[in-house]
Each structure stands twice: as C-alpha cells, then as structure tokens.
DNA sequence: AAAATTACGTCAATAGTGCTGACATAATTT
DNA sequence: AAATTATGTCAGCACTATTGACGTAATTTT
C-alpha cells in the first residue's frame, strides 16, 4: 500500500499562462464579466421567486412581442419542457400573456403585459448601467466595436437570430453585411 | 366567468427597443455571445461526464496552481458544498491533486496533473479559436480594447481576482491602475 | 495550556434549470 | 381522411447551486 490506486499524476506547479497561443486572458475575463453581469438581475429576480430563465424569457418577449413558443425555444436553445415551467409561472403572475395566432390558430403569440415590461426594464437597468460604465472606463467611443466583437462571437449560423431585433430598424445600420 | 382571475393585463405589442436609454442591444449580444462561447467546451465535457462547473475549477487550478479551496470558492463565487462534489470528481479522475499547505497544514493546495492540464487546454482551444476569429471579423487590433472592456464589466471590488493571473507577469502592463 | 478560530470535509434537504421520451389536443396541410 | 404541425403536459432524471449543521485537524488568541 505504498502507492494509491491510479498512478496518481504528479502536480504541475507552473501556471498555464498563454501556452500554445491560447488566449486564457480573454477566456477568463469573459467568465468574470458574465458572472457579474448576471449578478445584478439575479438579485432582483430572487425577490420574485424567479431565476435566470425567467429573465431570458421576459427579455425576448419584450424584445420581440408576438413571438411564438417555437421561436422562443429556438432562440433560447432549450427544450420545450424547460421552457414550460418558466413560461407558465410568468403567465400565472401576469407578466406575460398568450394570444392565439391570427393566421395559424395553433400558435400562441407571447406578449408582455405592463407588469412584464416594467420588470424587464428593472432587470435591464443595472445591466445597462454596468455596460455604460464599462464603456467609459475602457475609453469609450468604441461601443460599435464592442458590439461587433460580441456579434462575431456568436455562431455564424445563429446570427440570424440577432438581426431580427428591432434596434436595427431605428436607422443605426452599423452592419447589414 | 366573463373575466379571468387577475385583471389579466393587456398585451403590449410594441418592442421594447432602447427605451429609457437602456442598452438592450449589448445586453442581448452578451447573452448570445456567452451562450455560444460556452457551447464548445460543454460538448467536450459531456464526453467525460463533466459539466461547466468542472471546467471552471479546472481552468483556475491550471491558471493558479497551488490555490487553496477557500481561494477557489472566492473566485468562483459558489458555496463549499457546490464545489465539493465537482472537486472530488476531478481528484478521483486524476485531473487535480491536493497537497497539504506548506505553512498552514490545514490548507489544501490544488494542482493540475498532466491529465488535468491536457483537458484544460483541450477545453480552452475552441474558445480561443472563437475569440481569435471574432477579433479578426470585427476589425482586430483591438484586442487590448476588448480586454479592457471586459475587465471594466467586472465588479470593481473583485478586479483584484483578475490581477493575480500570471499573464500580467509577462510584461504586458496594460494597466496596473 | 485552554479556548477560540480557521480550513476543510461531509451530511441532509431543497431549489432552479436543464434533459429525454411519451402522449394528448387542436389546427393546418396534404 | 390522413398526416403533419404547434403547443401543452406528464413522468423521471441529472447537474449545479443553495442553506444549515456537524466534525476534525491545525493554528491563533487569550
């Protein structure tokens, strides 16, 4: 019994740094940034008994009023069952309403109520504040650049999901490439 | 029974856009970017029966070999219990080893094994590739700018966690403010 | 030296989010 | 009429996270 079950690999004492050209710095920053980015709304959501999933649904229902359940599933990349509970809670608490689709009556178009819009705004406010502060801190005027970078981080096939958003209609035209 | 239980708020049909100066565009892009950023390693992890939590532990153990359990908890911002299972699995599978702290023998210093380092690299590779591609797509040369922005997104009190990383020792000095 | 604190491990119970698979219903399409 | 589609729901399971409690060993304080 002098040695343990597996060969018990020896400890490596040197930090991984930017070995092999891997960009650990940005990988790690992305983790930290997202961790804190979500922490603000998480605290508000807790007061409502909601979680991050509720936030995401609320966000997209407000951004694209009238989207259907199937479209929402596609954007969130989760399963029907995962959405079901969360959506039901939002409907039961009068944050979201369902309307029968005008053309296809099988579809349920999702709309925020005034209550749902107010909550979406309350959740977005601290996040937007954080973004504004970060843009200032990091030598602003680069908003478009940050936007393009984040967009480029998204899977190319899925960028279509982004281009649906209404912001693009307000004459920004920072990229219809 | 002409009306439902609650006043049943009316549907709002207009998109939330950038109402009240809220930066919904970047909020949403951050969600999409992070969703896809984590999807690459998630697939690899599935082969090992690991999840995202394993990745995070593996990442930081490789980035700061010798960190203690308490330090890791502080960085990940999770509870001891949440870490316990994940860490145990990584130790049992010989990805991470614990050494008794040299000064304080209560502490357990965490180190990656060769196996653990290899996995950390394998997980980081697609992420780094995605970052490189995004920097190119979005008119690169702005790496430092992106880095500063992400850093500024982190809670100021917690930025100390970032400044520990070894990358800063390699003479980059883009900010010891 | 005794007492308090600290670092860590573990146990129990619970919540939130996600998954797969199966099945039902209503509406639309073929 | 039959097949397909959009949605809802049920059962069961996995992973990550939570709080609270307790135990042990080591260090620090008194």
pLDDT at position A168: 44
| Rounded CA–C1' distance between B107 and C9, in angstroms | 12
What sign does the dihedral A56-A131-B61-B95 (CA atoms) show?
A: positive
Contact: A97, B8; criterion CB under 8 Å: yes
Query: Above 50 in pLDDT, residue A169?
Result: no
pLDDT at position B165: 61
Residues of B in contact with A14 (CB under 8 A): 65
Spell out the residues 6+ positions from residue A158 whose beta carbon is closer than 8 angstroms to its own. B32, B36
Question: B161: nearest CA in chain A?
Answer: A32
Over residues A90-101, the pLDDT tens digits come to 999 999 999 998
Does A62 reside within a domain? yes
Q: Structurally, how many domains does chain B consist of?
A: 1
Over residues B26-71, the pLDDT tens digits come to 999 999 999 999 999 999 999 888 999 999 999 999 999 999 999 9
Does B174 reside within a domain? no
Does A65 reside within a domain? yes
pLDDT at position A4: 44
Structural domain harbouring B28: 23-154
B87 contact to strand C (CB, 7 A limit) = yes
Task: Tell me the two tokens of residue B68.
Answer: 């203690």
Does A174 reside within a domain? no
Contact: A6, B36; criterion CB under 8 Å: no
Q: Which of B63, B169, B43, B45 is nearest to B112 (CA)?
A: B63
Closest nt to residue A91, judged CA to C1' = D8
**Residue B132: pLDDT band by 50, 70, 90 thresholds?**
very high
Q: Are B107 and B100 in contact (CB under 8 A)?
A: yes
Over residues A107-156, the pLDDT tens digits come to 999 999 999 999 999 999 999 999 999 999 887 567 889 999 999 999 98
Q: Which of B98, B97, B94, B99 is nearest to B115 (CA)?
A: B94
For residue A45, the domain's CATH number is 1.10.10.10
The owner of tokens 């694209």 is: A64
Does B165 reside within a domain? no
Query: Above 60 in pLDDT, residue B176?
Result: no
Q: What is the 3-state secondary structure (H, E, C) of chain B?
A: CCCCCCCCCCCCCCCCCCHHHCCHHHHHHHHHHHHHHHHHHHHHHHHHCCCHHHHHHHHHHHHCCCEEHHHHHHHHCCCHHHHHHHHHHHHHCCCEEEEECCCCCCCEEEEECHHHHHHHHHHHHHHHHHHHHHHHHCCCCCHHHHHHHHHHHCCHHHHHHHCCCHHHHHCCCCCCC
Over residues A17-56, the pLDDT tens digits come to 887 789 999 999 999 999 999 999 999 999 888 999 999 9
Q: Are A166 and B15 in contact (CB under 8 A)?
A: yes
Spell out the residues 6+ positions from residue A166 whose beta carbon is closer than 8 angstroms to its own. A63, A64, B15, B16, B17
Mean pLDDT of chain A, nearest integer = 86
């Amino acid at each position: 019994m002098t040695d343990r079950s597996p060969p018990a690999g020896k400890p490596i004492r040197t930090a991984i740094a930017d070995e092999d050209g891997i960009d650990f710095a940005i990988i790690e920053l992305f983790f930290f940034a997202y961790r804190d980015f979500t922490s603000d709304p998480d605290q508000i959501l807790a007061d409502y008994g909601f979680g991050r999933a509720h936030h995401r649904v609320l966000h997209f229902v407000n951004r694209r009023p009238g989207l259907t359940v199937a479209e929402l599933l596609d954007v969130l990349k989760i399963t029907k069952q995962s959405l079901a509970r969360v959506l039901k809670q939002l409907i039961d608490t009068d944050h979201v309403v369902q309307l029968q689709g005008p053309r296809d009556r099988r579809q349920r178009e999702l709309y925020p109520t005034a209550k749902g819009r107010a909550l979406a705004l309350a959740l977005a406010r601290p996040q937007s504040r954080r973004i504004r502060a970060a843009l200032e801190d990091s030598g602003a005027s680069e908003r478009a650049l940050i936007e393009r970078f984040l967009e480029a981080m998204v899977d190319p096939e899925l960028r279509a999901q982004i281009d649906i958003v209404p912001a693009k209609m307000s004459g920004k035209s920072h990229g219809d490439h």
